[in-house]
């Protein structure tokens, strides 16, 4: 009698491990990782602002200005020091 009781417990335990536990762990992992990913993704998607004097300049404008300065340097042959002065001067 005791032998069949142990088998039923083992059978229930193995069924739990094979059928229920993977889904439960998947749901737990998703509940932890997905919100963190979404928060990081939407937080990074918001444009950041840099303060220069009294004017707020967005990250896109900063990159655009740096790209224009680099393009001007490549076409006019400015040195890297002149380029950094030009970027920091804006």
Residues 31 and 60 in one domain: no
Residues 80 and 67 in one domain: yes
Residues 72 and 60 in one domain: yes
Residues 14 and 37 in one domain: yes
Residues 76 and 66 in one domain: yes
User: What number of residues does the chain have?
Assistant: 90
Residues 3 and 38 in one domain: yes
71 pLDDT band (50/70/90 cuts)?
confident
Across 33-72, where does the E strand assignment appear? 49-52, 55-58
In the predicted structure, residue 66 carries a pLDDT above the cut 90: no
Q: At what angle do helices 59-76 and 80-89 cross, to 10 degrees?
A: 150
The residues facing 58 across adjacent strands are 49
Mean pLDDT, residues 37-50: 68
For 19-38, what is each residue's pLDDT tens digit?
Answer: 999 999 999 999 988 888 88
pTM of the model: 0.37
Residues 39 and 56 in one domain: no
For 12, the domain range is: 1-46
In the predicted structure, residue 54 carries a pLDDT above the cut 50: no
């Amino acid at each position: 009698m005791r032998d069949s009781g142990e088998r039923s417990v083992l059978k229930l335990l193995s069924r739990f491990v094979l059928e229920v536990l993977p889904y439960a762990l998947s749901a737990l992992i998703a509940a932890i990782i997905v919100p963190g990913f979404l928060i990081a993704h939407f937080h990074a998607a918001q444009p950041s602002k840099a303060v220069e004097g009294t004017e707020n300049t967005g990250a896109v404008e900063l990159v655009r200005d740096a790209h224009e300065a680099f393009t001007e340097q490549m076409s006019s042959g400015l040195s890297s020091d002149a380029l950094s002065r030009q970027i920091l001067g804006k």
